Amino acid sequence: MVRYAIILALVMLLYWLTLSFYFEPLIVGFGIASVLFAVGLCYRMRILDSETVPYMHTMTTIGYFGWLFLEVVKANFAVVKAVLRPDMEISPTLLTVPTPQKTDIGKTMFANSITLTPGTVSMDIDDDGILVHALLAEMADPDDFVEMGQRAGFSVSEVSS
């Protein structure tokens, strides 16, 4: 937990210095006091864990968003192609996608990724999975969500307190 406190304090201090860009001793002292107070509150509330301080996975997160962007582009083409057809053969489908994530932030990231992808919307989330509405039947294959689920679950595989 001490490791998370130090990382959080450093990130908050860097963020504060970037936004304020003041280096007068009194102002910097107030900034340090504010950061220590906030980290102390997090420590007292026992929320210093990999969910609160996810900065150790920054490069993986950037890679995931790059992959997700490509998936969004591909889904855009599929939806535009289906909607612009003269017969407009859409086939709305509901399915439950299992969630491999164990943490709330992992499940939320997975559900948000599904909703960001055109043609699919996360409607409900529970312990069994995510209820997804798909515009086209070919978008409703649960196997297609497996890779997204695995990639979205990287951020916090285990919460340690």
The C-alpha atoms of residue 72 and residue 7 are separated, in whole angstroms, by: 33
Asked if the model's pLDDT at residue 94 lies above 70, the reply is yes
Q: How confident is the model at residue 157 (pLDDT cuts 50, 70, 90)?
A: very low
The C-alpha atoms of residue 108 and residue 115 are separated, in whole angstroms, by: 11
**pLDDT tens-place string over residues 106-142:** 788 889 999 999 999 999 998 888 999 999 888 888 8
The C-alpha atoms of residue 74 and residue 148 are separated, in whole angstroms, by: 14
39-59 as b/e, with b when 16 or more CB fall inside 10 Å? beebeeeeebbbbbbbeeeee
Top pLDDT among 150 and 137 is at: 137
Q: How confident is the model at residue 160 (pLDDT cuts 50, 70, 90)?
A: very low
Share of the chain above pLDDT 90, in %: 46
The answer to whether the predicted template modeling score (pTM) of the entire model surpasses 0.85 is: no
Share of the chain above pLDDT 70, in %: 94
Q: How confident is the model at residue 77 (pLDDT cuts 50, 70, 90)?
A: very high
The residues spanned by each domain of the chain are 2-44, 57-152
Asked if the model's pLDDT at residue 31 lies above 60, the reply is yes
The pLDDT of residue 105 = 76
User: In 21-157, which ranges are continuous DSSP H helix?
Assistant: 25-44, 58-84, 104-116, 144-152
Asked if the model's pLDDT at residue 100 lies above 90, the reply is no
What is the chain's mean pLDDT, rounded? 85
Asked if the model's pLDDT at residue 4 lies above 60, the reply is yes
